[in-house]
């Protein structure tokens, strides 16, 4: 499997706090059947804060890969980021400053949970104008989508892709996130499920509980499509498929 959204780079955001934590996260992922993880540290859109950070993150990725190799943890790390589009500065950094998913035209994006839908739409259009396709991280966590899931349906119709969080489907991110994720999954609007892991104790990169939950409660969902085929297509720059 491929994990398209994971805060595994140590010390870069509120995810992993050390190389040791990152190794434990990767080992858990590997034991659950993951072979590739996209490192997606949080980023913003303020040019003064983001300048030079892409190169820094690529170096950090190389160092972490060497550490995984040293411990024989069979995980390949790939470059990426999770860009918070909300905030006062509503412009995207230049392309060379962005870290798209494995350097494709797909950009993983997120918003404040209480962002208004109209504001999200406007900022998603900016991504499109930059020639990129948004992969929207955890749509089920945004209050406007929880209130009106048709908002996420409209995003899917516009050609944006929806990434559900493992922990939403496991119920550990609250009832509203669970119900919304379940609805998006059952309506086959989700392209990908990913861990959005931050640690090895909670919000982990272990996909086994998710596979069990999908088997038990979502027999209509195709784990192979959501956890291997579609993230793999995105990493090759190809659009996800829907069954």
Interacting residues toward Fe ion by CB under 5 A: 82, 196
Which residue is at the shortest CB distance from Fe ion?
196
Shortest spacing between CB 215 and Fe ion, in angstroms? 25
Nearer to Fe ion, 6 or 68 (CB): 6
Shortest spacing between CB 26 and Fe ion, in angstroms? 16
Q: Report the C-alpha gap between 74 and 141 in whole angstroms.
A: 31
HSE-CB at 106 with a 13 A cutoff on CA atoms is: 30
43 DSSP β-pair partners: 83
Measured CA distances, 191 to 15, 165, 224 (Å): 24, 11, 11
Q: Report the C-alpha gap between 159 and 139 in whole angstroms.
A: 14
User: Between β-strands 36-39 and 76-79, what pairing exists: parallel, antiparallel or unpaired?
Assistant: parallel
Shortest spacing between CB 217 and Fe ion, in angstroms? 24
Shortest spacing between CB 82 and Fe ion, in angstroms? 5
Nearer to Fe ion, 196 or 206 (CB): 196
User: Between β-strands 133-137 and 106-110, what pairing exists: parallel, antiparallel or unpaired?
Assistant: parallel
Nearer to Fe ion, 137 or 241 (CB): 137
Nearer to Fe ion, 3 or 196 (CB): 196
Tokens coding 179: 């119900």
């Amino acid at each position: 499997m491929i994990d398209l959204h994971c805060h595994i780079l140590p010390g870069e955001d509120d995810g992993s706090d050390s190389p040791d934590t990152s190794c434990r996260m990767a080992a858990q992922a590997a034991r659950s059947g993951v072979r590739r993880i996209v490192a997606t540290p949080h980023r913003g859109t303020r040019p003064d804060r983001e300048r030079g950070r892409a190169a820094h993150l690529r170096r950090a990725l190389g160092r972490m890969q060497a550490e995984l190799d040293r411990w024989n943890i069979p995980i390949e790390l790939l470059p990426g980021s999770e860009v918070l589009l909300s905030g006062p500065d509503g412009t995207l950094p230049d392309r060379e400053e962005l870290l798209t998913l494995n350097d494709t035209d797909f950009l993983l994006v997120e918003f404040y949970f209480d962002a208004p839908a109209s504001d999200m739409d406007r900022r998603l259009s900016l991504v499109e104008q930059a020639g990129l396709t948004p992969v929207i991280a955890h749509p089920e966590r945004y209050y406007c989508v929880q209130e009106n899931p048709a908002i996420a349906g409209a995003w899917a119709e516009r050609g944006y892709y929806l990434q559900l969080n493992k922990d939403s489907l496991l119920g550990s991110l609250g009832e509203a996130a669970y119900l919304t994720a379940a609805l998006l999954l059952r309506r086959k609007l989700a392209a990908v499920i990913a861990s959005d892991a931050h640690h090895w104790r909670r919000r982990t990169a272990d996909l086994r509980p998710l596979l069990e939950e999908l088997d038990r409660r979502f027999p209509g969902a195709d784990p192979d499509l959501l956890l291997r085929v579609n993230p793999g297509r995105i990493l090759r720059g190809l659009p996800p498929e829907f069954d």
